[in-house]
């Protein structure tokens, strides 16, 4: 039986949601991740330090008994975010701020219109050492949905990076060869997260044979040439790219209707998905860096001092999970077989 032991990983981009969802989503992540960057697009969104602290307390209350899982909190940027909000966030221990162009994804209607208006806020973030996390898509209706990431790079991201060279920027859930190339060529202060769905799937998996709503996410899946570009950068071991699942739970009945809720709930199988991809790429030796080291290094945080072990054992992802209130959710890759399974985690790591 083949095993793989790596440093305990972190998830640098995910959605817990709130209230009744937390009893499902927090344990799912805490089973194998030591830390996670928590997205702030609740209803209402987390727009100030006091809301971030309160949300963190709700997450911590949902941790399994004895868990040392640490949520890392973010602020939701709006056109009313002030320089004082940034100072207060830093004082409260907030890690980063999230930029959503208005209407870009779930619960983002309150987000930013006119990104240049936030430049004074970016300047304050640069001064206080808060990271800028970006959902990098334009939202103008006349721009094709498959082109929106590339247009965002040219229109907004390049000017932000040029104007604030000391601001650490994470280009989140990248989906295109254009985004991968931009990050590779940018300064050391620009990094990117990559999701399991964008490594495992392309737009054929969303559209061929009928629309598959549980594979629908934003940014939307792209053509296979872009998928291959993402696979190539993670297989290369480039330290600018790191794990961020963008795990995003939605009730089954909300995914399977005209709502078109965007998001793949990958938390329960997240590390196994990445192991699947890295093995397919012949790059299992690069998994630990991507999952456990590069993100912590980019955020300026210590690497975890525990390990986790995966075993080569076929198993099937459940068809659905059920919340305490009876709501059903369909996890990513439901009913499909994976070749790696989490066996053990949070064991003391020997000295490097």
CATH number of the domain encompassing residue 85: 3.20.20.140
Asked if residue 3 belongs to a domain, the reply is no
| Local confidence pLDDT in tens for the 352 residues of the chain | 599 999 999 999 999 999 999 999 999 999 999 999 999 999 999 999 999 999 999 999 999 999 999 999 999 999 999 999 999 999 999 999 999 987 666 656 666 778 899 999 999 999 999 999 999 999 888 999 999 999 999 999 999 999 999 999 999 999 999 999 999 999 999 999 999 999 999 999 999 999 999 999 999 999 999 999 999 999 999 999 999 999 999 999 999 988 778 999 999 899 999 999 999 999 999 999 999 999 999 999 999 999 999 999 999 999 999 887 888 999 999 999 999 999 988 888 766 6
Asked if residue 338 belongs to a domain, the reply is no
CA angle 135, 139, 140 (to 5 degrees): 155
Report DSSP state, residue 303.
P
Domain count, the chain: 1
Asked if residue 205 belongs to a domain, the reply is yes
Report the sign of the C-alpha dihedral through residues 281, 282, 288, 290, in that order: negative
Question: What is the model's pLDDT at position 325?
Answer: 82
Q: Which of 11, 85, 178, 246 is catalytic?
A: 246
Question: What is the model's pLDDT at position 65?
Answer: 95
Tell me whether residue 246 is one of the annotated catalytic residues. Answer: yes
Structure tokens at 119: 């430049």
Please check if 198 is assigned to a binding site. Answer: no
Residue 117 CB partners (closer than 8 Å, separation 6+) = 79
Are 102 and 111 in contact by the 8 Å Cβ rule? The answer is yes
Please check if 135 is assigned to a binding site. Answer: yes
Asked if residue 161 belongs to a domain, the reply is yes
Distance CA 261, CA 3 (A): 37
Question: What is the model's pLDDT at position 21?
Answer: 94
Which helix (H) or strand (E) segment holds residue 98: the answer is strand 96-99
Quote the pTM value: 0.96
Question: What is the model's pLDDT at position 105?
Answer: 62
Asked if residue 284 belongs to a domain, the reply is yes
Please check if 262 is assigned to a binding site. Answer: yes
Name all contacts of 53-60 with Cβ < 8 Å and 24+ positions apart.
53/92, 53/93, 55/18, 58/18, 58/19, 58/22, 59/16, 59/22, 59/26
Are 164 and 126 in contact by the 8 Å Cβ rule? The answer is yes
Asked if residue 311 belongs to a domain, the reply is no
Phi/psi at 87 (nearest 5 deg)?
-60, -45
Report DSSP state, residue 154.
I
Structure tokens at 123: 């300047």
Report DSSP state, residue 290.
I
Please check if 17 is assigned to a binding site. Answer: yes
Please check if 87 is assigned to a binding site. Answer: no
Please check if 128 is assigned to a binding site. Answer: no
Question: What is the model's pLDDT at position 109?
Answer: 62
Distance CA 153, CA 223 (A): 18
Q: How far is CA 184 from CA 63, 172, 190, 236, 251, in A?
A: 36, 14, 9, 11, 37
Report the sign of the C-alpha dihedral through residues 184, 185, 188, 194, in that order: negative
Please check if 13 is assigned to a binding site. Answer: yes
Residue ranges in 69-112 assigned as alpha helix (H): 83-91
Domain interval for residue 296: 11-303
Are 320 and 330 in contact by the 8 Å Cβ rule? The answer is yes
Distance CA 253, CA 327 (A): 9
Please check if 156 is assigned to a binding site. Answer: no
Are 342 and 310 in contact by the 8 Å Cβ rule? The answer is yes
SS3 content of the chain, % helix, strand, coil (to 5): 40, 20, 40
Asked if residue 209 belongs to a domain, the reply is yes
Question: What is the model's pLDDT at position 154?
Answer: 96
Q: How far is CA 307 from CA 7, 52, 302, 310, 342, in A?
A: 4, 29, 14, 10, 12
Please check if 214 is assigned to a binding site. Answer: no
Which helix (H) or strand (E) segment holds residue 50: the answer is helix 49-61
Asked if residue 324 belongs to a domain, the reply is no
């Amino acid at each position: 039986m083949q095993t793989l032991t790596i440093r305990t990983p972190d998830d640098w981009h995910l959605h817990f949601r709130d209230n009744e969802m937390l009893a499902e989503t927090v344990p799912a992540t805490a089973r194998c991740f030591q830390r996670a960057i928590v997205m702030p697009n609740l209803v209402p969104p987390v727009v100030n330090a006091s809301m971030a602290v309160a949300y963190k307390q709700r997450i911590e209350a949902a941790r399994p008994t004895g868990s040392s899982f640490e949520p890392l909190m973010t602020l939701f940027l709006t056109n009313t975010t002030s320089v004082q909000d940034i100072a207060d966030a830093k004082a409260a221990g907030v890690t980063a701020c999230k930029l959503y162009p208005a209407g870009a994804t779930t619960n983002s209607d309150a987000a930013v219109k006119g990104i240049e208006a936030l430049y004074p806020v970016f300047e304050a973030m640069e001064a206080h050492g808060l990271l800028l996390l970006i959902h990098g898509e334009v939202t103008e209706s006349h721009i094709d949905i498959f082109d929106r990431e590339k247009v965002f790079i040219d229109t907004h991201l390049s000017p932000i990076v040029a104007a604030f060279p000391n601001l650490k920027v994470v280009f989140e859930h990248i989906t295109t060869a254009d985004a991968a190339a931009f990050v590779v060529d940018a300064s050391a202060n620009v990094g990117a997260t990559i999701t399991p769905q964008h490594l495992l799937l392309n737009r054929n998996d969303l559209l061929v044979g009928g629309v598959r709503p549980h594979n629908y996410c934003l940014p939307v899946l792209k053509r296979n040439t872009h998928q291959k570009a993402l696979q190539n950068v993670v297989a290369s071991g480039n330290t600018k790219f790191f794990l961020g699942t963008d795990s995003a739970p939605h009730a089954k009945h909300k995914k399977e209707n005209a709502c078109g809720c965007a998001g793949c709930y990958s938390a329960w199988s997240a590390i196994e998905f990445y192991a699947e991809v890295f093995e397919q790429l012949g790059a299992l030796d690069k998994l630990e860096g991507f999952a456990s080291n590069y993100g912590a290094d980019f955020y300026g945080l210590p690497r975890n001092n525990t390990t986790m072990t995966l075993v080569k054992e076929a198993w099937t992802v459940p068809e659905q999970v059920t919340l305490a209130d009876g709501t059903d959710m369909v996890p990513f890759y439901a009913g499909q077989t994976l070749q790696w399974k989490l066996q053990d985690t949070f064991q003391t790591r020997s000295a490097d």
